[in-house]
Amino acid sequence: MEFQDKHILITGGSSGIGKALLAEFIERGCRNLAIVGRDQEKLEAVAGEYRDAEILTLQGDVAQVEDLNRIVTVLSEKWGVLDILVNNAGVVSAGLLENMSDEDIISQVNINVTGVLLLTRKCLPLLQKSKGGALIGVSSGLGYIANPFYSVYAATKAAVRQFSDAMRRELHQYPIHVMTIYPTATDTPMMTNAAVDNMDDPAMVARESIDGLVMGKINVIFGGEQRLDDIRTNFLDPLKMDEKSISRYEELKERTAKHRAM
């Protein structure tokens, strides 16, 4: 896939993995990009870092239908086509389900899932005009293997995985490649309070993800061979993964106690 003439929309393009994907697409020659986020100043600061590309900054909350409608109207008027949609914006709130506020449950679902479904549906008429496009979802290792204290987040990320599979099968007659990225712990603002060592570099995640896109991969899974083994075990013998998780229960509880990025 060549990127020079592509029109690319990245939600959450103002930080972390989304920002790294933006930089990587620009590095590979893309000149027409749009980024979505709730904080306009953050969007403008990021757009100002790249002089070689035209970056539309589209302030909006992916959980708000009217914001999504406005974003798609702007893209429709300015571009008339969309080649690559990256549904990357996401939030996390960890902890025992019994301690989680209604607001954190609702926001995680609305931002991580409902926003993805709605924005994708609203972008479809533009994506279907592409002569070679992609729909990219950003799930998580937790979208395959659910850990305790991430019940809601893991559920949202599993939804992203299923949505991608369904859309790939639904869109087979269009030249739209559907791909899902499964990062493991990556060093971004989302992880500031997560107490994890040796995190992945977002630039590496972006580079390998776009390599995956170029190679036509449908899943780009981070975490190495161990993660792939664990995914197989989790599918074939979930009780074995339960044992693993139970043996680390207290450690996980402590590590995730302050993990909230909403």
Ligand X SMILES: NC(=O)c1ccc[n+]([C@@H]2O[C@H](COP(=O)([O-])OP(=O)(O)OC[C@H]3O[C@@H](n4cnc5c(N)ncnc54)[C@H](OP(=O)(O)O)[C@@H]3O)[C@@H](O)[C@H]2O)c1
Provide the binding-site residues for ligand X, judged by CB under 6 A.
11-12, 14-18, 36-39, 42, 61-63, 88-92, 111, 138, 140, 183, 185-186, 188-191, 261
Shortest Å, Cβ 61 to ligand X: 4
Q: Which residue has tokens 């549906």?
A: 121
**Residue with Cβ nearer ligand X (38 or 227):** 38
- In degrees and rounded to multiples of 5, residue 136 shows phi and psi of -115, 125
Q: Strand, coil or helix: what is 251? A: helix
**Residue with Cβ nearer ligand X (91 or 167):** 91
Q: State the Cα–Cα distance between residues 47 and 127, nearest whole angstrom.
A: 23
DSSP class of residue 112 equals I
Shortest Å, Cβ 42 to ligand X: 5
Q: State the Cα–Cα distance between residues 207 and 185, nearest whole angstrom.
A: 16
Nearby residues of 155 by Cβ (< 8 Å), 6 or more positions away: 109, 146
Q: Strand, coil or helix: what is 210? A: helix
Q: State the Cα–Cα distance between residues 227 and 140, nearest whole angstrom.
A: 12
143 with 98: CB under 8 angstroms? Answer: no
Shortest Å, Cβ 137 to ligand X: 9
**Residue with Cβ nearer ligand X (173 or 197):** 197
Pairing mode, strands 54-59 and 84-87: unpaired
61 with 67: CB under 8 angstroms? Answer: yes
Looking at 144, 150, 153, 182, which residue is catalytic? Answer: 153
Q: State the Cα–Cα distance between residues 150 and 82, nearest whole angstrom.
A: 33
Of 161, 159, 142, whose CA–CA distance to 150 is shortest?
142
**Residue with Cβ nearer ligand X (141 or 172):** 141
153 is catalytic: yes
Shortest Å, Cβ 80 to ligand X: 23
**Residue with Cβ nearer ligand X (120 or 140):** 140
Q: State the Cα–Cα distance between residues 155 and 152, nearest whole angstrom.
A: 5
Shortest Å, Cβ 213 to ligand X: 16
Positions marked catalytic:
153
